[in-house]
Chain A
Amino acid sequence: DSGVTQTPKHLITATGQRVTLRCSPRSGDLSVYWYQQSLDQGLQFLIQYYNGEERAKGNILERFSAQQFPDLHSELNLSSLELGDSALYFCASSVGLAGRRGGEQYFGPGTRLTVT
């Protein structure tokens, strides 16, 4: 158990809909990262927040947005869903900014999103 929690574990929804994925980082971690992993594909970095502020953006679509709240939990919002958005969405957390010593990320169990 990494200490990172994600809800829900599974989500099935229809095209065009909007969903929200939730993540709580490990106690004491200030950075939260979101990743997308499609079937048999590598991890695609979406976005990072550090202590409530957006820190870095990866290959995140305009239909997707995220935020980190004062209690450090984060939400990833996916809208106008398409079939191709079906994937595992992982949240990870780390103590500080990515450039610090170590900086290893700890991953939550993921949310499996199925768009039908």
Chain B
Amino acid sequence: GQNIDQPTEMTATEGAIVQINCTYQTSGFNGLFWYQQHAGEAPTFLSYNVLDGLEEKGRFSSFLSRSKGYSYLLLKELQMKDSASYLCAVRFMDSNYQLIWGAGTKLIIKP
């Protein structure tokens, strides 16, 4: 089966930049999603990548390299409200196009 790997926890400082990595098996890849989830709340959609390169949305950017099975979410000018879990989810053709979810990276922002 496909595994989605991302670090369990990261810590960063308010105002700084942090990069959260996500790796996956390349076979059957059909798109990658990033979601933000605050504790006890619903995941909210952040970004979608299907082609190589960088997608920028304000303070958040997401990068994809299909050949390497690698993506990262870049958060700039960190704010305390960015403390949350960040979920990487990958869509594979051979899993009936269902999303396979990573366990999430818990990001802790310190003042």
The judgment on whether A and B are partners is: yes
Q: How many residues of B contact A (CB 8 A)?
A: 22
B40 within 8 A of A: yes
Least CB distance from A114 to B in Å reads 13
A14-22, A66-74, A78-86, A97-105 - the one binding chain B = A97-105
The answer to whether B98 touches A43 (Cβ under 8 A) is no
How many A-B residue pairs have C-beta atoms within 8 angstroms? Tell me. 53
Contacts of A97 in B (CB 8 A): 97
For A42, give the chain B residue with the smallest CB separation. B103
How many chain A residues have a CB neighbour from B under 8 Å?
25
In the complex, which residues 27-48 of chain B have their Cβ closer than 8 Å to any Cβ of chain A?
30-31, 33, 40-45, 48
Report yes or no: B93 in contact with A99, Cβ–Cβ below 8 A: yes
Interface residues of A, dominant DSSP: loop
* Residue of A whose beta carbon sits closest to that of B100: A45
- Interface contact A98-B98, CB-CB below 8 Å: yes
Partner of B48, one of A41, A45, A48, A104: A104
Residues of A bordering B, CB below 8 Å? 2, 41-43, 45, 48, 55-56, 58, 88, 90, 97-99, 101-110, 112
Q: How far is the CB of B96 from chain A (nearest CB, A)?
A: 5
